[in-house]
């Protein structure tokens, strides 16, 4: 099996939880201070050796394309103003040797359908999928871990972490098998957003995956599942029942940037880790925590 060089970014979602901010702006461009969350996911993929980025877009998502396209006018204005560092920052959003493909999901028929829309661009190749809402921070990021595991043994792979019993209904939850000596957990099934009492475990699949092209054949046969949508989790469940899926523990810190509180937490932690802001931001927090009105 070939190495993974392609990654799919489903970015067609409406982002209703962030209205009105997302009325005209794609939710994937919401920034963590100065970098859009989709750019973090793209950098994670590139860091894992991926060179072809396939964005599955929808209505109102033109700005995602613009963000990853060259902007020669802006670049020359920055240069003319002596701001070469900023020019380089803008120019290198997509480094040399990395290419972008944009495909359109004509109707919002679910995550599984979005991934299937990428099939003509991916072809008969293994590929990664990254959901930008799941913002990952850490020394080793999940896509690099998935790609490395795929190199060892080519198969469908999920990145998983344990969640609390209250949270199982928000995620695809694993029916886990044995954990092997290589650290991989065999996956017997995946249940999309089960009720707490029906959850087969507390291991949740997060928005990082690696698939063999076989997933497309399964997606093509699926009927709408939970929420009337073609669910990626249902395709994974079928592959798992055939013994073709394994999972690895997410090696990084994950923030759910699909929720306002998760997004706020990501910004706070990012500021606390940022060399330029850390000290001032800590002073600000201390001031706010001890200041008037903070007794609760």
Structure tokens at 152: 């060892």
Interface residues with ligand G1P (CB under 6 A) are 111, 131, 134, 171-172, 192, 204-207, 232-233, 258
Q: Least separation, in Å, of the C-beta of 1 and ligand G1P?
A: 25
In the bound complex, what is the minimum distance in angstroms from residue 79's beta carbon to ligand G1P? 40
Cα Rg of the chain (Å, integer): 20
Closest to ligand G1P by CB, 29 vs 190, is 190
Q: Which residue is nearest to ligand G1P (CB)?
A: 172
> Whole-number minimum distance, CB 80 to ligand G1P, in Å?
43
Residue 90 half-sphere exposure toward CB, CA atoms < 13 A: 18
Pick between residue 28 and residue 134 the one whose CB is nearest to ligand G1P: 134
Instruction: Using the minimum distance from each CB to ligand G1P, give the nearer residue, 50 or 235.
Output: 235
Q: Which is nearer to ligand G1P, 15 or 36 (CB)?
A: 15
Find the angle CA(94)-CA(97)-CA(99) to the nearest 5 degrees: 60
64 contacts 28 by C-beta, under 8 angstroms: yes
In whole angstroms, how close is the CB of 221 to ligand G1P at the nearest point? 18
- Residue with Cβ nearer ligand G1P (126 or 172): 172
CB closer to ligand G1P, 78 vs 136: 136
Inter-axis angle of helices 84-91 and 72-80, to 10 degrees?
160
Q: Tell the smallest beta-carbon distance from residue 198 to ligand G1P (Å).
A: 15
CA-CA distance, 110 to 113, in Å (whole number)? 5
Helix boundaries (H) for 92-213 = 111-117, 119-122, 142-152
* CB contact at 8 A, 50 and 141: no
Q: What's the CA gap between 174 and 240, in Å, rounded?
A: 10
Closest separation in Å from C-beta 195 to ligand G1P: 15
């Amino acid at each position: 099996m070939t190495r993974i060089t392609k990654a799919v970014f489903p970015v067609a979602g409406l982002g209703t939880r962030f209205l009105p901010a997302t009325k005209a702006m794609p939710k994937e461009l919401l920034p963590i201070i100065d970098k859009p969350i989709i750019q973090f996911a793209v950098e994670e993929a590139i860091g894992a050796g991926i060179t072809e980025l396939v964005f599955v877009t929808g209505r109102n998502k033109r700005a995602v394309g613009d963000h990853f396209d060259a902007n020669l006018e802006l670049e020359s204005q920055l240069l003319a103003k002596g701001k070469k560092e900023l020019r380089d920052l803008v120019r290198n959003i997509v480094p040399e040797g990395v290419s972008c493909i944009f495909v359109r999901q004509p109707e919002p028929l679910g995550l599984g359908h979005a991934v299937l829309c990428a099939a003509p661009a991916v072809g008969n190749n293994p590929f990664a999928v990254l959901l930008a809402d799941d913002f990952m921070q850490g020394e080793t990021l999940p896509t690099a871990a998935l790609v490395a595991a795929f190199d060892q043994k080519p198969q469908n792979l999920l990145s998983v972490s344990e969640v609390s019993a209250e949270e199982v209904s928000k995620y695809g939850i694993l029916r886990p098998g044995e954990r092997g000596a290589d650290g991989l957990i065999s996956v017997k099934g995946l249940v999309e957003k089960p009720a707490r009492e029906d959850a087969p475990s507390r291991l949740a699949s997060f928005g990082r995956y690696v698939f063999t092209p076989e997933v497309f054949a399964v997606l093509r046969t699926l009927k709408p599942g939970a929420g009337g949508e073609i669910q990626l989790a249902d395709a994974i469940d079928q592959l798992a029942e055939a013994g073709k899926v394994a999972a690895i523990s997410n090696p990084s810190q994950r923030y759910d940037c699909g929720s306002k509180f998760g997004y706020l937490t990501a910004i706070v932690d990012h500021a606390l880790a940022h060399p330029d802001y850390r000290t001032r931001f800590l002073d600000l927090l201390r001031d706010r925590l001890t200041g008037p009105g903070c007794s609760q």
